[in-house]
């Protein structure tokens, strides 16, 4: 036995253990999704009454779905809330959209804050800052521009905010949209991302993505206000981390976040996922190893080699069975998360799934090879740890 043999033996054991762990994650995600998601929210008579919520809507630009997405915030079944539209640029067309909605729903309290602030690097925080300062309620809902709400979504989120919970977030998912990009997005958010998101929630690991987050305002203030997170681009991750560090819990609500941005293009989607990869790598460097390895094809190939090395099993057959079972687990998970008929047939799912799986390792590499981060109109550089710096041209 040479040192090389020992090294290869160790490596193959590592692949086998990681592979087995990944199947546990598959199983946990499916069972947890079934048990946790799509529970009916009820307006219960609470002794203390329902707490008021300030909804912060950071807007930048108007897409074709903006009006109808924002309208869903005016038709929610929740007793006490206000909407603060935050729009940095005073000539932004989103202002007109917000004003039209204010005219249509005069009974809902809403205000528009323009101009933004400059409290740090994160442009979403700079944009929301004035709206946050003017908030009048103990709960804050940070809600990105492309999110749609159902009538009972806010109620569902508040119902999940038990006494030991600081923050309730919605697992990212998408509305039914036509075209290949719509399929690709739904497949990604309903399989690869949902699996990790659900397993992380179950195991109390911080996986918070801040597109729709209900949080206790006094806990943000205790940490120094929203500006305390403005040195990071991934303010969502650090917001949740600061709650967990203080002994609080975070949890997902039973409804996923229905993203419905009017821009639904493959290029745009891939660029967004690459931006998120860069955030994760800077915040959690172990991602560099574990993320590519947890991809179906990469893990299948590595483990096929391991079982060939250890047991002399046929690696091709192993890979085929591995991929097929993974594919079926993904179909089951996606169907549970969708909870209604999917907007595409099984053939479209196969195409979307294969493209997603095949492109993902390449997109990961591409993200590593261009470390600067372009987010909307600005470019940033990230330091290890996640602190960001804007690149001025």
Interface residues toward ligand L2Y2AEV6, by CB under 6 A: 18, 21-22, 25, 193, 196-197, 199-200, 203, 205, 207-210, 234, 236-237, 276, 279-280, 284, 290-291, 294
Q: Which two tokens stand for residue 196?
A: 């990790």
Closest CB to ligand UDX among residues 20, 379: 379
Closest CB to ligand L2Y2AEV6 among residues 200, 351: 200
Q: Could you tell me the smallest distance in angstroms from the CB atom of residue 15 to ligand UDX? A: 32
CA 70, distance to chain mean position in Å, is 19
Q: How far is residue 91 from each of residues 6, 143, 145, 152, 376, measured CA to CA in Å?
A: 65, 22, 17, 33, 16
Catalytic (active site) residue 201: no
Catalytic residue among 144, 156, 236, 330: 236
The span from the CA of 157 to the CA of 154, in Å, is 5
Check if the beta carbon of residue 343 is closer than 8 Å to that of residue 182: yes
Site map 107..136 versus ligand UDX, x via CB under 6 A: ----------------xx--x---------
Closest CB to ligand UDX among residues 60, 387: 60
Q: Closest-CB residue for ligand L2Y2AEV6?
A: 21
CA 300, distance to chain mean position in Å, is 26
Pairing relation of β-strands 373-375 and 212-216?
A: unpaired
The span from the CA of 191 to the CA of 180, in Å, is 16
| SS3 (DSSP) at 172 | strand
The span from the CA of 116 to the CA of 320, in Å, is 53
Q: Which residue has the tokens 């991602």?
A: 287
Tell me which of ligand UDX, ligand L2Y2AEV6, none is bound by residue 193, counting a contact when its beta carbon lies within the kind-specific cut-off of 5 to 8 angstroms.
Answer: ligand L2Y2AEV6
Which are the contacts of 193, defined by CB distance < 8 A and separation ≥ 6? Answer: 172
Asked whether position 234 contacts ligand UDX by CB under 6 A, the answer is yes
Q: Could you tell me the smallest distance in angstroms from the CB atom of residue 171 to ligand L2Y2AEV6? A: 9
Q: Which residues bind ligand UDX (CB under 6 A)?
A: 58-60, 123-124, 127, 144-146, 209-211, 233-236, 272, 375-376
């Amino acid at each position: 036995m040479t040192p090389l043999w020992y090294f290869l033996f160790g490596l193959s054991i590592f692949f086998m253990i990681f592979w087995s762990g990944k199947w546990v994650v598959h199983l946990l995600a499916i069972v947890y999704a079934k048990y946790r998601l799509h529970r009916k929210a009820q307006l219960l008579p609470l002794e203390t009454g329902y707490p008021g919520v300030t909804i912060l809507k950071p807007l930048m630009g108007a897409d074709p779905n903006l009006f109808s997405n924002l309208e869903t915030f005016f038709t929610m079944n929740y007793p006490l809330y206000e909407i603060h539209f935050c729009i940095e640029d005073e000539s932004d067309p989103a202002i007109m959209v917000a004003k039209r909605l204010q005219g249509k729903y005069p009974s809902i309290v809403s205000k528009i804050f323009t101009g933004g602030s400059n409290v740090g690097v994160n442009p979403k925080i700079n944009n929301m800052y004035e709206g946050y300062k003017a908030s009048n309620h103990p709960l804050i809902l940070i809600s990105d521009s492309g999110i749609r709400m159902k009538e009972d979504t806010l109620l569902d989120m508040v119902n999940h905010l038990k006494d030991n919970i600081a923050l309730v977030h919605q697992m990212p998912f998408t509305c039914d949209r036509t075209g290949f990009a719509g399929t690709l997005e739904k497949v990604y958010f309903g399989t690869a991302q949902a699996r990790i998101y659900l397993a992380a929630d179950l195991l109390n690991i911080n996986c918070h993505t801040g597109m729709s987050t209900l949080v206790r305002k006094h806990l943000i203030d205790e940490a120094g206000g929203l500006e305390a997170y403005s040195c990071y681009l991934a303010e969502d991750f650090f917001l949740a981390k600061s709650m967990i560090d203080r002994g609080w819990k975070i949890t997902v609500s039973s409804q996923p976040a229905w993203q419905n941005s009017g821009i639904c293009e493959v290029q745009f989607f891939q660029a967004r996922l690459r931006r998120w990869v860069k955030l994760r790598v800077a915040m959690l460097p172990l991602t560099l190893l574990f993320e590519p390895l947890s991809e179906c094809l990469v893990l299948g190939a590595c483990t096929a080699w391991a079982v060939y090395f250890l047991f002399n099993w046929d690696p091709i057959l192993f890979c085929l069975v591995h991929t097929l079972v993974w594919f079926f687990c993904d179909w089951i998970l996606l169907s549970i998360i969708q909870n209604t008929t999917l907007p595409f047939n099984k053939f479209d799912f196969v195409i979307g799934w294969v493209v997603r799986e095949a492109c993902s390792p390449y997109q990961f590499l591409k993200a590593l090879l261009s470390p600067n981060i372009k987010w909307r109109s600005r470019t940033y550089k990230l330091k290890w740890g996640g602190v960001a710096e804007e690149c001025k041209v």
